């Protein structure tokens, strides 16, 4: 039985190469099967401990060979345990690295989210400012539009009043011209009358004189 187990360990070691040193075993990336049994032989406490003097040479040789096999099997199992420990350390290191990378990624994502949140807040503030500016611009536009409409109405009223004033002025000028012409005509007529009145008086005097000189 011991020879079979020793042969199995020797066969396993032959598949992977020579026995590895402690440093090589710690750095080894090998991943042996998890189903492989790891067992260290313990010497039975109740095993008969016979002194070499009490044993015959053949039994002594057999016992020595058995101890050699047990020692070899124990060494092989220790090497497997070291490989298991190295694998566990590598897994632990890899897990720590992955954890650190994950934490770094989470931190970077958190910082990115904070930046995006800051950008979003700035965009919200900018949109609010633009909206307020747009409202102010619309209010100013409405005020200017009302002022423009009022100015346009006043200009139209002024133009209408100007037209009416020009018409009235034209009518007054025409009436004045007609009045002046009528006054001039009346003055000319009166002047002619004044000129003709002495002549009439003289004629009337002559007629009266003629009437007086006739015999009765």
Is residue 93 included in any domain, yes or no? Answer: yes
Is residue 138 included in any domain, yes or no? Answer: no
Q: For all residues of the chain together, what is the average pLDDT?
A: 77
| pLDDT computed for residue 58 by the predictor | 85
Lowest mean pLDDT among 6-10, 118-122, 123-127, 181-185: 6-10
Range of the domain at 61: 2-116
Report the chain's C-alpha Rg in angstroms: 71
Is residue 60 included in any domain, yes or no? Answer: yes
Matching residue, tokens 């011991």: 2
Q: Evaluate if pTM is beyond 0.75.
A: no
Is residue 177 included in any domain, yes or no? Answer: no
Burial class (CB in 10 A: 0-12, 13-18, 19+), 26: middle
Higher pLDDT, 32 or 178: 178
Matching residue, tokens 């003055």: 187
Higher pLDDT, 102 or 198: 102
If one counts the domains in the chain, the total is 1
Is residue 213 included in any domain, yes or no? Answer: no
Is residue 128 included in any domain, yes or no? Answer: no
| pLDDT computed for residue 107 by the predictor | 94
What gap in Å lies between CA 46 and CA 50, rounded to an integer?
12
């Amino acid at each position: 039985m011991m020879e079979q187990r020793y042969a199995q360990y020797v066969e396993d070691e032959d598949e992977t190469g020579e026995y590895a040193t402690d440093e090589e075993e710690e750095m080894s990336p090998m991943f042996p099967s998890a189903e492989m049994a790891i067992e260290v032989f313990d010497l039975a406490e109740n095993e008969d401990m016979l002194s070499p003097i009490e044993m015959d040479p053949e039994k002594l040789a057999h016992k020595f060979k058995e101890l050699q096999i047990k020692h070899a099997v124990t060494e092989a199992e220790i090497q497997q345990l070291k490989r298991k420990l190295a694998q566990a350390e590598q897994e632990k290191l890899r897990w720590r690295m992955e954890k650190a990378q994950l934490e770094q990624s989470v931190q970077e994502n958190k910082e990115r989210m904070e930046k995006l949140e800051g950008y979003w807040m700035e965009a919200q503030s900018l949109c609010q400012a633009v909206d307020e500016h747009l409202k102010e611009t619309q209010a100013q536009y409405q005020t200017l539009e009302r002022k423009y409409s009022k100015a346009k109405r006043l200009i139209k009223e002024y133009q209408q009043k100007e037209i009416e004033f020009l018409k009235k002025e034209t009518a007054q000028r025409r009436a004045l011209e007609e009045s002046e012409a009528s006054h001039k005509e009346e003055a000319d007529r009166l002047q002619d009358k004044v000129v003709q009145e002495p002549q009439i008086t003289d004629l009337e005097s002559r007629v009266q004189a003629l009437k007086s000189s006739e015999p009765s």
